[in-house]
Structure 1
């Protein structure tokens, strides 16, 4: 019998992986997963001190070389500077996890009813959730094209980029002691990411750059028990997701194990989209 080497396909040793939004609840898990499989991880987020601190922890824990870089992904100059700093540290960029999303500074504006939603807040969220995705994909994809070795780009979307939220689940629902909903700008921005990924998958296919989307369902991250109960009642598996359950799909899409997969959506939602 011919011996197979399928496990080796998941090996990311000597690959450079950039994760935007790398300090988030999911972002940290994504960075840890990539590092565990051998990648040199670039932690990208707004807080320079914290990105460097977390990158140091990754290096100490997994032994690969990781660095932290502060970057506002909604700023073209910041993004270009981030790419230059990565290239100064590493020979090339092989993997991009385009994961950053806005956390509004004005929660009253962010959770406002659609009829009262301000254009300023809409543009504020879009500047990160969509414009930031465009700027980072453009800058790093261009670098991958110049390198001529292909690459993998994974962009994070949400189940609410595919489906409308069931607004009934928000009755009595709180997050970090704040009454919540899913605003239209969130759904619109996450739907746009899916379209952008498919466009880029076809656009860069001849450059051997694969582009796929992670579509994530709700994860436990501080919601109150009423929300967890209401949300879980909509899920065939009967519960919310856990951050660690999102990581394996990223490793698959980042690695050669998915070498014939591009333009696809990997949905991790406990079955919500199945009914």
Structure 2
């Protein structure tokens, strides 16, 4: 399993890096649509793992909404005079509220599942709240650029991904080596408190790298934002685990050997990106 994960990461990371830094924003927004359609199809299995019609219906719904967003808010209009487009801001704020709610749903699981586990409508709504704010946040961050720093937004996106990858990797290896106390056994039996702490500690490598490259940053704020983003990513991971447990599926898909589906790979990002974007707007805009 670990060997497959490494092999997949070897070709996946350059592909992601190339898309973030190499594609112009207007092309990136449409390329990203394809990734989220795959994730939507996988979420359809969470809604109903046995009904292809339900899965495709949800995929089409997400596709229509994302296409509408790309048309209503073209890439060159996401940021105007330093202000985020109201539609994008509204979607990201809704996303922030969703992850606040999702956190308490995870904490109270399995009791929290009593009101949604048999409702296709609610699970579809939760899928929209998970995927669409992530899509919007990714475009919003990447769209941040100036003539002096054309890759500023792309760098921010990559930094969020580094924080998430550091958290996941640190949690995996620390959990394997030191894990004893279960974090949330009802949601994800394999995750441990020691693993989470190891993941948070690993993110300090990202902080050190940012301070080395940009020493004018305020260290305390940078550490706080990094840890908060890492914790948000953990909530995203646990949230997907919760929904998959109810759906009785181990992986959302099989498209990425060793990692499962696209949704399995971006579950942490679905929470980390909107939360980081809100923090950025609050403290740096």
Higher strand share: 1
Between the two structures, name the one with larger relative contact order (CA 8 Å, sep ≥ 6).
Answer: 2
TM-score after normalising by structure 1: 0.29
TM-score after normalising by structure 2: 0.28
